[in-house]
Structures are given as structure tokens and as C-alpha cells.
Amino acid sequence: MIFEESTDNLLQVNSLKTYYKTKTGFVKAVDDVSLFVDRAKVLGVAGESGCGKSTLVTTIFRVTPRNAQVMSGEVKYKGQDILNMDLKVFRRDIVWKEIAYIPQASMDVLDPVYKIKDQMLETILEHEDLSKADALERIYKALENVGVPAEKADMFPHELSGGQRQRVVIAMALLLSPSMIVSDEATTALDVITQAKILELMKSLQENRKFSMMFVTHDLSLLANISDSIAIMYAGKLVEFGDVEKVFGNPLHPYTQLLLKAIPDLRYRKQRRLVAIPGFPPDLENPPKGCRFAPRCPLAMPICREVEPEFSRVEGFHYVACHAVNKK
């Protein structure tokens, strides 16, 4: 299904299929995914390792590995098809200026041989006609806004702590005041306390500056306090999508239910007994027929092993792809 376009949507993904070509066939890493991110709202995207989250992000930023192919579908930003836009124009007008990226490893963005200040200067001066003095002033302010003293601008990335580096990456992402931030496991490599602080920082920046955010993580527990809506991916498919209160308060897909049971403490769940999800995600080169979750699903019925469930609306902003739910 494709969601109806609305003026509230900033980013819209329509039936996107991104596959990886291998010697033996295609890995169906993102397979018919449709979702949207509203203006000034946060979409949390979660799912186990290997479910296609990073492929979704790299497709949006047009930085997929060479063997990746967008088989079909579109990604629209402010109504414009950004996958088919001239690549030079996309890099000049969209990346950083409109949509910025916060990756898991800050060193993926920070070049170890340049001082923080020089990297930030380059980002600004490549996109804006500003004097060096004005740009530097903006850099110092941007660093202070994320809790990094301005003097650190003269340091090299390795001279900062992991938490400080991640703050610098956030400052860099916000340098050109983009309308949207995509964060891919941005806090995963950090210790729990630093992770909580960075998360709090991202949330307060988002609330103050009103940018949209797509926050991608394998850790569902991070999403409760930060997200307005939640998208759950499993084996390249979107299995549940909706308002955070609905998805966490009334999870409908058995996979979402199990993911929620697998996390220790979440304000929406009373149950504390941890339950690991038995089995493994399928091989995406030869995914199972029918529902991809069926082999691990406690509620699987014969139809689940034969027919792929449709992604359909339950009520309000709450969608699910599950025969057990759709049958009711």
C-alpha cells in the first residue's frame, strides 16, 4: 500500500524495494516498504539486526553499496522525488541543507585528519555564501548548543570522548538548519548514561527547532520517550506502523508484542519478565512464502505460511500486516 500524500508529510516512502545483487540472486533487504514522517515529528524505526533499517536509510541518502539496486518505489521529500533527482543537485540542495545524517559511528562523518572546526567550516562554506568569521561564530554557537565547549573546535576528533564526538556530529547535522534529521543507531555505541544524555539532547533540540526526525534503532526501549510514531520492520518488511501510543499501548503484530516483551522496562508495559524471541530472521535471499515472520510466530495459522498478509489499517493511525489481526 501507499499512503496518501498530505501536506503534513515531510518525507514519504512509497512501496520502496531495495535489493542487493549477489552471485546467487537478490537479497530483498527493503521489500515494499511505505511510510511517512510528518513535519516537526519523530518517527522511530525499529527491528532486529538485519531487518533492513540501514538499507532504508542509505537508500534515502543515495549512498547504498554498489551491489544495491532500487527495484521500484519512490522516496519523496517535500513532494519531490529525491531518488531520481540529479545526484549533484541532490548532494548540493538536499543533503545537509534539508536532510542531515547522524550515524552510529561518529568517525564515519568526522575525518580524523581534520580539526573539528575545519570540517564544520567546510560543511557551511560548501553550501552557504558566508564569511569565514561568521561561519566560525556559527560553529562555536552550534557546539555550545550541544554542550561542547567552543575551544574543542580546535581539536581533532580522536582528542574527544565518544559522547563528545557524537555531540559534535549532532552539531554538524544541525549547522545548516535542516528540516529533517535521520539518525541511524546514533547512540548505540555509547554507554547507557551517555546514551540517555544524547537522547535527551536530541529530543530537546528537536522540540526547540521543530525539525522532523527519523530515529532508527534496534532498541525499541529508546523510542518510547522520543517518538511520535513507530515503524516496526521485520525481514525487509514493515509489519506495524502507527502512533506511538497505539503501537506501544496496543501492539498488534505478534513480532511487535514479542519485541516489547524482550525489553526490560518500558513505560507502556507492566510485564517485566524478559522473553527472547526464539529462532532467527529468515534468509532474505530466499524468504519464506507468506508472512516472513510465520516460522517464528506463536500465532501462525496455515494461511500465514502461504499468503503474504496485506498491510492494512486497523483504526486511526495504526497499520499492521498480520492475518491474525486482519481476520478479526
Ligand X SMILES: Nc1ncnc2c1ncn2[C@@H]1O[C@H](COP(=O)(O)OP(=O)(O)OP(=O)(O)O)[C@@H](O)[C@H]1O
d(CA 29, CA 18): 6
Q: Among 7-15, 42-50, 76-84, 168-176, which window interacts with ligand X (CB under 6 A)?
A: 42-50
Residues 265-284 interacting with ligand X (rule: CB under 6 A): 284
The binding track of 210-249 with respect to ligand X, each residue x by CB under 6 A or -, is --------x-------------------------------
> Is residue 49 involved in binding ligand X (CB under 6 A)?
yes
Shortest separation between residue 301's beta carbon and ligand X, angstroms: 26
Residues 71-90 interacting with ligand X (rule: CB under 6 A): none
d(CA 45, CA 237): 12
Residue number with CB closer to ligand X (254 or 282):
282
Q: Which residues contact 276 (CB under 8 A, 6 or more apart)?
A: 262
Residue number with CB closer to ligand X (54 or 164):
54
> Is residue 27 involved in binding ligand X (CB under 6 A)?
yes
> Is residue 13 involved in binding ligand X (CB under 6 A)?
no
Shortest separation between residue 46's beta carbon and ligand X, angstroms: 9
Residue number with CB closer to ligand X (21 or 210):
21
Shortest separation between residue 219's beta carbon and ligand X, angstroms: 10
> Is residue 50 involved in binding ligand X (CB under 6 A)?
yes
The footprint of ligand X on this chain (CB under 6 A) covers a number of residues equal to 16
When CB distances to ligand X are compared, the closest residue is 54
d(CA 210, CA 107): 27
Q: What residues are paired with 215 via a beta bridge?
A: 44, 183
Q: Among 21-29, 110-118, 172-180, 242-250, which window interacts with ligand X (CB under 6 A)?
A: 21-29
Shortest separation between residue 11's beta carbon and ligand X, angstroms: 18
Interface residues with ligand X (CB under 6 A)? Answer: 20, 22, 27, 29, 47, 49-55, 65, 67, 218, 284
